[in-house]
Structure 1
Amino acid sequence: MLVTAISTTTELSALESQWNRLYAQDPHAHYFLSYGFMRDWLVALEGGWQVLIARNTADGEIVALLPLRFRLRTLPSGRFYVTLLMAGNYGADYTGLICRPQETRHVIPALAKAIRHLDWQELDFDYIQAADPRYEKLLDEFSARRFDRTAGVRTNEEHTNNLLCPVVSLPATFDEHLGQLSANMRQKLRRLLRTLDDQNSVEITYPTAETFNAAYDQLAQFWWQKWSHKKGAERSQSILRTNRRITLNALQAGSLYMPLLTVDGRLVAGLITFLDPVRGTANFFMTGRDESYEGPSPGLLLHAFSIREMISRSYREYNFLRGDEPYKLLFGPKLEQLQCVRVKRRKSNGILPQAVLDRAAVLATAAHQKSRFKQAAAGYTQILQSAPNTVNILYRLGQLYEQTGHEDAAYLTYAKAAQLVPRNQMLKDRLTRLRPAPHTMPPSAALSAPSRDAN
């Protein structure tokens, strides 16, 4: 089994037909691993991602794909910490891999080996399907001798368990679906649907490309009024920006189902649902409701209407996605379990992957500009530990040494940069101005900056 990686949109586009074929073959695949969703999501990330590709060595055919992304954060010391995430994190309700089923036994060890060889301190497998045995096999490839492994809990202050996904199996007719519900719920949904079918003042419409922004803005405003005080303004704004992008991409791809409920011309609620015709699944993603509306439950009405519509289209599942909120359970779903697993290296050399070096340079330079010299020196040194011949970082580190009175270290750092770009006049001027003392200090000693083996 041969595992390679891609990290550009051009390479990603070339995979479309093979990705789609593999997606159709994998019974565990879901909307958030479809080519259309993942392509738009990865392009929006603007770097820092890669897709591991497993090929059968016999014929070179792709048999598995694992989208990943790197996240970089700065420690108080100024050193950087790298987490390897499933690529869909912070946007997708499910994450994971896609694989040809008969190749699983060979694919999993090969992917695990490729992951171990990447540069990271922490590996987060968030929102993977607990019922899919491939992930347990993958995680078993990370030995307890070298890695620590912990499972996460995702229960919020409302006691909603976000590791549970209520999924309604859709029968052949809507009446059959109603027959699976309690008598009270059955009567309630029939009454709600009659108001829609019998009253001209109650309508369901759908946005077009021209009206999408206005419709989304109204639903987002409803959502903001309900949730922003609990989630905080900054996080809420980030969620709504991300959801807008995901929803617009679905509209453009033809996979968006967005029923909007109006009463006397007033928008009172709407749903955002993503359709997956390959899996036969409708994935409810987001809702917005005017909390001042005092009429019969618009949320239950919209879900009942959507389920009826999906049954008429021969869809097989209505997935409420993450969260076991009580209203979802009224529709008689089964609960699918997700899991979040964190793997940490017991020892790390601190080497940074190529994908995060530019971001690390920005962060170290920002610390430098704020006169946080020890933190900047630690960041610069770690970058050079990972990419020793990065001229601009050598130059900035030389400047830092000058600013902090370490002229000998500055000279040696500029000299190394000058060896790489011998015609650079700015470096020549710096070296001419600085006169090395008889006893020079190695750059790694200045400001107690860590050496290559510090971690």
Structure 2
Amino acid sequence: MQFTLHTIFPEMLRSDWNALLEESVSHVPFLRYEYLYSWWQTRGGGEWPVDSDLVIVTATQDGRLAGIAPLFRANHAGRKALMLIGSIEVSDYLDFIVRPVDLDDFLAGLLPFLAQEVPDWQALDLYNLLDSSPSLTALQRAAAGQGWRFAAQQLEHSPYIPLPGDWETYLASIDKKQRHEIRRKMRRAEEAAVPIDWSITTDPAALETDMETFLALMSQDPEKETFLTPAMRQHMRNTMCCAFEEGCLQLAFLNIDGKRAAGYLNFHYIDRLWIYNSGLDRSFSEYSPGWVLLGDLLKWANENGIREFDFMRGDEEYKYRFGSVDRFVMRATLVREEIANEAVLKPDALCKAAGSGRG
């Protein structure tokens, strides 16, 4: 493989980038060219300083794009690190972009290339790889080949619901008490004295207003209000606009008597619904708007060919009450020089879901 270093986003590779992602070891929306480019404009909503450096490495083989390492250089955990673009807080799943068949060759060539061509770094510090990603074991093999130290650390729960494609079959698969609660609350909404329905934003002319409405709903939660700094608000707007333009935004609202009572920001990407964030107007709590909208979304997903309802990072109790299966995201660290074990594996505050405004 022939490797090339890019210090700006390679616009000429945009279509090839996304085409490779479709065949990659991890086909997730957070690795699309458009999302990562948008993330970089605000450095993840202000999570990273503006003077961070792009270190995007592409590999070609026989004239075709074979792999992408979307990295940037930053000071993290007490050392100079190369990290995946999108790290850490607002991009739930990250990885290298490479076909499974090319993974070992790509990493075996990537590590010495980074050591020789990229100055002034000590470690690869890679967050939010799914525990099922083949990159984890491939990185361990590649690190051993270079004599580097490798460590893997479990970060967060990332539950999901496998969907059967039928609403009643789904309900029958979850706990009886929870099934009763879902039906009771949805029926109460249907029989309410005021009109209650739900909608998805599809009109480009309504997008700006609906984005602001959603952010206002998020802000009613004190933790999320703190999370939504001006830079983070801009990141959220950029993400929603980007997803809308790419046809994968699902901005859903529960409407009670003509007012927005709850909202979910999701991505409808490939055959999954990726549940990214939510907001709630607590003045409508008597109608259980969050639960009702979540029930409507699950029913819609079962009826529209969605194979998986992915809650992504966070172990909030309600996710499991709706029938979630557990999995985890991981942190993989490859260190070039001797660093104490506690520094390699030291958990840091950026990993904690409590500060992410999620849920």
What is the TM-score with the length of structure 2 in the denominator?
0.80
Alpha carbons 1:227, 1:236 under 8 Å: kept: no
Q: Cα distance, 1:177 vs. partner?
A: 1.0
Q: Counterpart of 2:276 in 1: which secondary structure? A: strand
- Alignment match, 1:4: 4
- 2:272 is equivalent to residue 281 of structure 1: yes
- Alignment match, 2:83: 85
Alpha carbons 2:136, 2:332 under 8 Å: kept: no
In structure 1, distance between residues paired with 2:185 and 2:245 = 31
Q: Which runs of 5+ in 1 are unaligned?
A: 76-80, 155-162, 349-455
Alpha carbons 1:53, 1:65 under 8 Å: kept: yes
- Alignment match, 2:248: 255
Q: Cα distance, 1:96 vs. partner?
A: 0.6
Q: Cα distance, 1:143 vs. partner?
A: 5.0
Instruction: Map residues 49-448 of structure 1 onto 2, 5 A cutoff.
Output: 49-56=54-61, 59-72=62-75, 82-89=80-87, 90-117=89-116, 118-119=118-119, 120-142=121-143, 147=148, 149-152=150-153, 154=155, 163-197=156-190, 201-207=195-201, 208-228=203-223, 233=226, 236-277=229-270, 280-346=271-337
Amino acid at match of 2:73: F
Q: Cα distance, 1:272 vs. partner?
A: 0.1
In structure 1, distance between residues paired with 2:16 and 2:277 = 30
- Alignment match, 2:47: none
Q: Cα distance, 1:44 vs. partner?
A: 5.2
Alpha carbons 1:146, 1:346 under 8 Å: kept: no
Amino acid at match of 1:210: A
Report the CA distance shift for 1:26/1:198 in structure 2 as closer, same or farther (over 3 A).
Answer: farther
Q: Cα distance, 1:328 vs. partner?
A: 0.6
Deviations 1:269-300 (CA, angstroms, capped at 9, x unpaired): 100001112xx111110101122333232222
- 2:21 is equivalent to residue 23 of structure 1: yes
Alpha carbons 1:271, 1:286 under 8 Å: kept: yes
What is the TM-score with the length of structure 1 in the denominator?
0.65
- 2:48 is equivalent to residue 48 of structure 1: no
Amino acid at match of 1:82: K
- Alignment match, 2:33: 35
In structure 2, distance between residues paired with 1:235 and 1:17 = 32
Amino acid at match of 1:125: L
Q: Counterpart of 1:95 in 2: which secondary structure? A: coil
Q: Cα distance, 1:248 vs. partner?
A: 2.1
In structure 2, distance between residues paired with 1:144 and 1:186 = 52
Alpha carbons 2:56, 2:71 under 8 Å: kept: yes
Amino acid at match of 1:253: E
Q: Cα distance, 1:180 vs. partner?
A: 0.8
Greater relative CO, 1 or 2 (CA 8 Å, sep 6+): 2
Alpha carbons 2:220, 2:279 under 8 Å: kept: no
Identity fraction in percent: 21
Q: Which runs of 5+ in 2 are unaligned?
A: 44-49, 340-359
Q: Counterpart of 1:84 in 2: which secondary structure? A: strand
Amino acid at match of 2:2: L
- Alignment match, 1:381: none
In structure 2, distance between residues paired with 1:69 and 1:325 = 31
Alpha carbons 2:262, 2:279 under 8 Å: kept: yes
Structure 1 runs (4+) deviating above 6 angstroms are none
In structure 2, distance between residues paired with 1:232 and 1:203 = 26
Q: Counterpart of 2:282 in 1: which secondary structure? A: coil
Q: Specify which structure has the higher proportion of strand.
A: 2
Q: Cα distance, 1:115 vs. partner?
A: 2.9
Deviations 1:241-285 (CA, angstroms, capped at 9, x unpaired): 3222212211222211011112112221100001112xx111110
Q: Cα distance, 1:35 vs. partner?
A: 3.3
In structure 2, distance between residues paired with 1:48 and 1:250 = 25
